[in-house]
Amino acid sequence: MGNLLRSKTFSVVEVLTSVDIVYDRKWSKLDKLGAFINTNALIMWREKGIGCIVCGITGAFFAKERTPGYGSIYNNWHLNLYAVDHDGEEILMTQDHVVARGNGGEDHVRNLQPMCYPHNQKKADKDMTVFLDKIKVKKKQKKQKQKPTDQDEKVLPRSE
């Protein structure tokens, strides 16, 4: 993400198998990696996998990053999971609340699912079923636009 400072990267296995101390309910400290990680995200990725439940893009590496400044946990070194798309672009992997917190959903692993940042932004506080139905409609409309029409297929007269 744009304004983050990056120290180094770690393999998915290296991070998901690191068990250190739970700093508090929200954050765990992975001493041997010198970074914090969101506790719920770590548990979710261990239990539910590292692929976006919408598009299937899969986390490829963890980056040790921090936001410049002081006064926030994000100013400390923490780990973010990234996938890499077919163009080589890094895509942040996030934890999505199945039932959005704003709609009464819990901030608990049982209410979390792995999702890439772009899909998480699009879903926002929508119900998962409604969100997936919208995506299916958009994909169907896109396919219909790509199909040639009768007007596109012009038949040339046969030469004799």
* Domain extent at residue 135: 5-146
In DSSP terms, 83 is beta-bridged to 59, 91
Tens digit of each residue's pLDDT, the chain (160 residues): 568 999 999 999 999 988 666 656 788 888 889 999 999 999 999 999 999 999 999 999 999 999 888 877 778 899 999 999 999 999 999 999 999 998 999 988 999 999 999 999 999 998 888 888 888 777 666 666 665 555 544 444 555 5
Region of 68 (left: φ > 0; alpha: ψ -120 to 50; beta: rest) is beta
Q: Which of 52, 22, 44 is nearest to 117 (CA)?
A: 52
Residue 127 lies in a domain: yes
Residue 151 lies in a domain: no
pTM here is 0.80
Domain count along the chain: 1
